[in-house]
Structure 1
Amino acid sequence: MVTVLAAVLVGCGGRAVVPAPSPIGPGGGGATAAATPEASWPEKTYYRTVEVRGRRIFYREAGSRDRPVLLLLHGYPSSSHTYRELIPLLSGRYRVVAPDYLGSGFSDHPSPEEVTYTFDLLAEYVTGFVEALGLTQYVIYMQDFGAPVGFRVALAHPERLRGLVVQNANAYLDGLTEDRRQFFRRAHEDRSEAGLAALAQTVSATAIRERQYLRDVPGEKRERMSPDTWTHDLALLATAEDRAIQVQLFQDYQANIDAYPSWQAFLRARQPPTLIVWGRNDPAFVSAGARAYLRDLPQAELHLLDAGHFAVEEQAVAIAQHVVRFMEGLNAGAGREPVCLSDRF
């Protein structure tokens, strides 16, 4: 069966809108120029650890070390496991590195009674991780929590940043509904026993399965979501201390919203090449947050995918194709026209 990517134009605040080429899937008898990138064999993914500030940081790595680097930063409630399908799709061309944050995945989980978990802390460890690996230039791919971590890493060393890939990673109030803004304000301000109990429910097994992974995939779309996702996450959120780490991060999330203006100023000043691939069915980080990037990055490329918050779980191949085209244009130093598209499959 031929799978065709149809581009449906959406409003971009008056910016130029350029139709995308239509990639042709398996059995399609070829593709038009500049459409589907040629497939490349994946390289072996390695599962490694490195010591950062006396803590063990776990990471997945694939691809030759002399190739351009993609640094994949994960969201909540996941880890580098969220990129298990994307890494092989990119590793034939690039060096792909995906760490687990301190307190997440297979990295060390120091007790939240010993360490107060903040996004500043996570970013400090990712910056230390990058330095431990000797990475001097990279494109940052960020999803969900990856945005507050990624922006801090980028601002700490802007000379290292070659570009951004933004996947349901918010940096604008436009992307947050009023309910979502109130949730983060309450999490920050309400430290009562009742407030902590309410936050604890957000990291329960039911919440992670039903209100994270399965929320955005009704009907037959649910078949896109591997049960490995929540099973893996819940195995690493098994203890009260593990769950308390994520509660502390929710309590700190308002600091990210307060930092949005500084992130936006960074984007305006630096104009990093940027690809935005956003699941348009996400009710938490709504697609207005994707379009908002174009205010500060008029040359950014935007694709709204038929997917939810965990778009890379649903549309890994489509995202990989966009990333390859973006990276090849970046590596060639090609200029990019502003693009705003809605991808329908």
Structure 2
Amino acid sequence: MVLLFMTLLSFTANATAPEAVLPSKTYYKFATVEGKRIFYREAGQHPKQTIVLLHGYPSSSHSYRELIPLLSGRYHIIAPDYLGSGYSDRPDPSTQKYSFNLLATYVAGLLETLNVQRYTLYMQDFGAPVGFRMLLNNSQELEALIIQNGNAYLDGLTPSRQAFFKTAKEDNSTLQLDKLYGFTGQQAIVNKQYLRDVQSAPETMNPDSRSHDLHFLHSDKDRLIQVQLLQDYYNNLLDYPLWQAYLRRYQPPTLIVWGQNDPAFIADGAKAYLRDVPNAELHLLDAGHFAVEEKPVEIAKHITNFMHKLRAKNNMPLEQ
């Protein structure tokens, strides 16, 4: 009986990750990549599994300030600000055209500079086109994918949202440009981004988030950076078949944690991943587009259990 109890205890311990690990200190750093200063947050020890947190629009690594401490006791965490976002350098968009290829180049360059050779990618919103571009250029560096409201399928975009991105790319009229500038303004950031999905519980959304983002959108040049990325976004839709082919070929271990109350990147986009990665782990959360702001603890638990099972599968030492 004692032996049976100990066997069951051992099985239970290996089934899910242990609770209550104290966080590591988060450090706030800069690295020079191709002559530009790229800001990143780093926590945890380098020899551990590395998780790279890729932020969305109109955010920065600041959006992961609650998730990082929940993970850093077990993992090595890197959360960069893209070129043109947050505390990273922001070359003048009148001379430097911003695109997702550009952002991916600098994130990949940062990881190379930091000698990070193997990592798990957490991709949210803009993070998906940045991340998939990195993977297509170097598929061997990926350990696993974590996807949170980051599209790779047309299923995840309503027809009106698809039309929005198509028009942003093809219509260069002054009227359309004014609309895109409006999308980067305070009213849109507050009400159509952060508070849109949490109208019944606005207290779940930290006002520091939108204040932080708006601080970095105070000038026309800052806003033009994001406008150029919105204009480039339709190219991602055209590249979806390439990303899907990558998933089918490499079958990366994949965790999907998706805020199902998101009306922009809808839940069908999460389910669509299962067509190409049928063994992916899918969790639809009672949250919106910024699920990591609403449900950081729940997301951290899913990540921890996913990474724990990945370590066991790969015969890596499990966390103590």
TM-score, length of structure 1 as denominator length: 0.86
Percent identical across equivalent pairs?
Answer: 58
- The CA deviation at 1:334 is 6.3
Aligned twin of 1:289: 269
How many angstroms apart in 2 are the aligned matches of 1:327 and 1:233? 30
Instruction: Pick the structure with more helix per residue.
Output: 2
User: Distance between the aligned counterparts of 1:155 and 1:40, measured in 2?
Assistant: 35
Instruction: Write out aligned runs for 1:103-114 (5 A).
Output: 103-114=84-95
Query: Could you list the per-position Cα deviations for residues 171-215 of structure 1 after superposition, in whole angstroms to 9, with x for gaps in the alignment?
Result: 000000001000000100001111100110000001001000000
Aligned CA distance change for structure 1 residues 171 and 77 (closer, same or farther; 3 Å): same
Residue of 215, 222, 228 corresponding to 2:196: 215
Q: Residues of 1 paired with 2:197 and 2:15: CA distance?
A: 31
Match of 1:130 in 2: 111
> C-alpha deviations, 1:302-332, integer Å up to 9, x for none?
0000000000000000000000011111111
Deviations 1:78-100 (A, max 9, x none): 00000000000000000000000
2:239 counterpart (250, 256, 259): 259
Secondary structure of 1:141's counterpart equals strand
Correspondence for 2:309 among 319, 329, 335: 329
Equivalent runs, 1:3-152 vs 2, <5 Å: 34=15, 37-152=18-133
**CA distance, structure 1, for counterparts of residue 161 and residue 184 of structure 2:** 16
Matched, 1:227 2:212: no
Q: Distance in 2 between matches of 1:33 and 1:48?
A: 35
Task: Say whether residues 1:179 and 2:160 are aligned partners.
Answer: yes
SS at structure 2 position matched to 1:323: helix
Query: What is the deviation of 1:155?
Result: 1.3
Match of 1:274 among 231, 239, 254: 254
Q: Which amino acid is 1:75 matched to?
A: G
Distance 1:284 1:322 in 2: 23
Q: In structure 1, how many angstroms separate the alpha carbons of the residues matched to 2:16 and 2:101?
A: 40
Gaps of at least 5 residues in structure 2 are 1-11, 316-320
Unaligned runs of 5+ in 1: 1-30, 336-345
Q: CA RMSD in A?
A: 1.4
Say whether 1:237 aligns with 2:224.
Answer: no
Partner residue in 2 for 1:157: 138
Q: What whole-Å deviation, never above 9, does each CA across 1:209-257 have from its counterpart, x for those lacking one?
A: 10000000022x2110000010000001111100000000000001100
The one-letter amino acid of 2:185's match is: S
Residues in 2 aligned to 1:43 and 1:145: alpha-carbon distance in whole angstroms: 27
- d(CA) in 1 for partners of 2:139 and 2:146? 15
Q: CA deviation at 1:39?
A: 1.5
